[in-house]
Amino acid sequence: MYLRQLAIGGMLAFSAVASALSPRQNINPGPVSGDTFIHDPTVVKTPSGSYIAAYTGDNVQLKTSSDRTQWRNAGAAFPNGAPWTAPYTRGSRNLWAPDISFHNGQHYLYYSASSFGSSRSAIFLATSPTGAAGSWTDRGLVIESFDNSGWNAIDPNLVVDAQGRWWLALGSFWSGIKMVALNPATGKRADNQILSLAARPDAGGALEAPYITRHDGYYYLWVSFDRCCQGAASTYRIMVGRSASVTGPYVDKNGRQMMQGGGTQVMSSHGGIHGPGHNAVFTDSDGDVLVYHYYNDAGVAQIGINRIRYENGWPVVF
């Protein structure tokens, strides 16, 4: 996600433990073509077998693909605007970091409304039978944060646990990554409890963009460390930890808790791939797939796609 908190971030320190990196992890994205600009991507495979990507942009932008390789622009989720978000966006049409998925016979879209450097933010929900531009019905506010909340209601991700319970991971900077329980019947909050999943107290709080997946009895919490949105100078990097419980505690490969800055690095800048981050993961016929944005040498955000395999219980991209 855009690094909302640059004003409070300060100088960012790299954790020696979290930076442990096997050189073979930093591989190039798989082949993509067509309309490849994207920022803060999320992808769902539809019941028909095609793909829809949602990403940060005016009124939430969409792309489609029939083969996961060739992408085309597909318009805005809300082509007539989203005036209900105005109290959080200071009049901007730019809506951030959507999360798209398919449940209960319809597509769910959680998305963020905020402005740079502010924790006066909100996450909304919309649903659609098709996922196409203009087909989305806004279902209203899910959660909001205030200037004095100490956390930030952006970067949502819906996760359904092994027991069928619904949760929303969210958060960026300040006191870190949070989680709330959802009611599956409405997609809205089930209670008033806010859980904490990850933080970087020794690095200016520089983490955001949570995404939780499940594989072979573990839940994996993916996050992005460091600075986004600086073009080719971006230092975003993709990190992960795991837990036997969806609510944590999450630890990295070395056993360090993510609430204390832990995280195992999956991908960082290399060659012409600058600041890879704000990833999502979806399952396809050939396994789990990582989707993320990175900046090319010209500083333009691009879609990155790689497959994932698991080695000794930890994800590795290839």
Its domain, for residue 97, covers: 6-317
Evaluate whether residue 123 is within a structural domain: yes
* pLDDT of 301 above 50: yes
Average pLDDT over residues 280-291: 98
Task: Look up 252 and say whether it is catalytic.
Answer: no
Burial class, 304, CB count within 10 angstroms (exposed 0-12 / middle 13-18 / buried 19+):
buried
Domains: count for the chain: 1
Res. 255: pLDDT tops 90 = yes
> Is residue 1 in some structural domain?
no
| Chain segment 34-80, per-residue pLDDT in tens | 999 999 999 999 999 999 999 999 999 999 999 999 999 999 999 99
Count CA atoms closer than 13 A to 93's CA, side-chain side. Answer: 11
Amino acid (one-letter) located at 101: S
User: Does residue 137 register a pLDDT over 80?
Assistant: yes
Where residue 144 sits, what CATH number does that domain have? 2.115.10.20
**How far apart, in whole angstroms, are the C-alpha atoms of residue 95 and residue 81?**
10
For the beta sheet containing 61-65, the strands, ordered from the edge strand earlier in sequence to the opposite edge, are: 33-34, 70-76, 61-65, 51-55, 42-45
Inform me whether the pLDDT recorded for 1 exceeds 90: no
Residue 106 lies in a domain: yes
- Written as six digits, the tokens of 218 are 């573990």
Task: From residue 52, give the alpha-carbon distance in Å to each of 44, 57, 106, 197, 311.
Answer: 5, 15, 13, 28, 29
- pLDDT confidence of 26, banded at 50, 70, 90? confident
Q: Which of 208, 226, 252, 288 is catalytic?
A: 208
* Mean pLDDT computed over every residue of the chain: 93
Query: What backbone phi and psi angles, to 5 degrees, belong to 129?
Result: -75, -25
Is 28 a domain residue?
yes
Is the pLDDT at 163 greater than 70? The verdict is yes
- Of the listed ranges 23-32, 101-110, 273-282, the least confidently predicted one is 23-32
40 is catalytic: yes
Half-sphere exposure for 223 (CA within 13 Å, toward CB)? 33
pLDDT at 18: 36
- Model pLDDT for residues 178-202, shown as the tens digit of each residue: 999 999 999 999 999 999 999 999 9
Is residue 236 domain-resident? yes
Is 239 a domain residue? yes
